[in-house]
Amino acid sequence: MSRVLFGVVALATAGQGFYFFGQFVATSVVFAITLLLFVYTLRRRESFTFDGHGRGVLITGCDSGFGHSLAMQLDGMGFMVFAGCLFPDGDGARNLVQECSSRMKVLKLDVTKDEDVASAKEFIQSNLPEKGLWAVVNNAGISDWSETEWNTISDYYRMADVNLFGCIRTTLPFLPLVRASKGRLVFVSSIFAFFNCLTMGSYSVSKRGMEAFADCLRVEMASFDVKVSIIQPGNFGPATKIVKDKTAGEIWDKLDEDQKTMFNRRYIEVANEYFKSLCKEGSTDSSRVIEAMVDAVTSPRPKFRYLLANKKDAVFFYAYPYLPTFVSDAVFSLSPIYHKRKSMLYTRKRSYS
């Protein structure tokens, strides 16, 4: 009988223990969430009240899109903006000069040219505000769609020269100035940096390389109190018009005879129309991206990465690193164009025996 009573008491004690442990865990979770929300709110408030007067910011790719909007936003916050434009006499550059304050400085800056970067550095050093160069925002970028095999080595070089080496070419010369002000380095990447989607090969390669560069730089610059952030927009094609408009005929004409034997023109036409329709489905409102870029420049505690995608893409993006490769590949193959590709792709069977 005593053994039974002892067992009952032991179970009751254990039950109480589990109950209190559960209470502790639940309380800890609630406390952690509350603390995170408090810190987030505080960080957002501090970011909003940041005074940009006396600080300079270099932004690449300001002719249009994100760079153009960010330049206007930061000018309104008091920053001296050095707006790098591919066409300094173009409509975008003229609009910045007309609509912004006298602090706005438009520069000719092709990020693929060493001489343009050198000239920009010389100009910025000669016109630095009293608090120095606070941030470099690597926004300039190009995009294109094509199956991996259809790209020539020149296509890969061109994509990487802007999206990857353009960032490196621009960032390195300005590191001493940003380090002196304990400022910010911001890189505009894409969710496609880690999505191995059909037809986005060369773009993904260039953006993934950019993120690797930024990640390495973030670890090294932490010793100097320089913050490094990566912006990861989803589909904002209509807002940026970054994707080059091309016809199926242009793609077809680039293929060699062997590729034309393996790929049929009808598939290229269907794929081209599908990609265009996909771009049109993107967001026309870039305000979320601009808000994130401003936060990366001004917040005392900027995020390492800012993911700006729709809910479906965001869920998959966060799950992607933990999925087995065959699962993530299967998800990508659910695309409607993938099934059309399988049924239309080959013009005839070939024998390699």
CATH number at residue 167: 3.40.50.720
pLDDT digits (tens, 9 = 90+) for 131-159: 999 999 999 999 888 888 888 999 999 99
pLDDT at 120 over 60: yes
**Phi, psi at 107, each rounded to 5°:** -120, 150
Choose from 137-141, 200-204, 284-288, 317-321 the range with maximum mean pLDDT.
137-141
Residue 330 lies in a domain: yes
User: What's the mean per-residue pLDDT of the chain?
Assistant: 84
- Is the model's pLDDT at 10 over the cut of 70? no
Residue 84: pLDDT band with limits 50, 70, 90 = very high
What letter does residue 322 receive in the DSSP assignment?
G
Q: What is the pLDDT of residue 226?
A: 98
| Rounded alpha-carbon distances, angstroms, from residue 204 to 91, 190, 194, 224, 318 | 30, 8, 7, 30, 17
- Residue 353 is predicted with a pLDDT of 37
Neighbouring residues of 103: CB distance < 8 A, sequence distance ≥ 6: 75, 78, 79, 80, 81
pLDDT of residue 334: 77
Mean pLDDT of 157-165: 96
Contact in structure between 87 and 140 (CB atoms under 8 Å): no
Residue 20 lies inside a defined structural domain of this protein: no
The pLDDT value recorded for residue 34 is 57
Q: Write the pLDDT tens digit of every residue in 178-187.
A: 999 999 999 9
Residue 221 in any domain: the answer is: yes
Question: Residue 335 — pLDDT band, cuts 50, 70, 90?
Answer: confident
Which residues are catalytically annotated?
Answer: 203
Predicted pLDDT at 274? 80
How does pLDDT run across 22-45, given as a tens digit for each residue?
555 545 655 666 566 555 555 554
For residue 237, the enclosing domain spans 50-344
The type of residue at 259 is Q
Domain annotation covers residue 4: no
Q: Which residues of 169-179 are buried (b: 16+ CB within 10 A; e: fewer)?
A: bbbeebbebbb
Q: In this predicted model, which residue has the larger pLDDT, 348 or 222? A: 222
Distance CA 255, CA 128 (A): 49
Helix axis angle, 2-48 to 287-298, nearest 10°:
90
Helices (H), 127-241: 153-163, 165-181, 201-221, 237-240
User: Per-residue pLDDT averaged across 48-73, rounded?
Assistant: 93
* pLDDT band, very low/low/confident/very high, at 329 (cuts 50, 70, 90): confident
| pLDDT at 47 exceeding the cut of 50 | no
In a domain, 12, yes or no: no
| CB neighbourhood size of 42 (10 A) | 12
218/216 Cα distance (integer angstroms): 5
On whether the pTM is more than 0.85, the answer is no
Question: What one-letter code names the amino acid at 136?
Answer: V
pLDDT tens digit sequence for 254-277: 888 888 887 788 888 888 888 777
Q: How confident is the model at residue 81 (pLDDT cuts 50, 70, 90)?
A: very high
Number of domains, the chain: 1
pLDDT over 90 percentage in the chain: 51
313 pLDDT higher than 70 = yes
Q: Is residue 328 pLDDT above 50, yes or no? A: yes
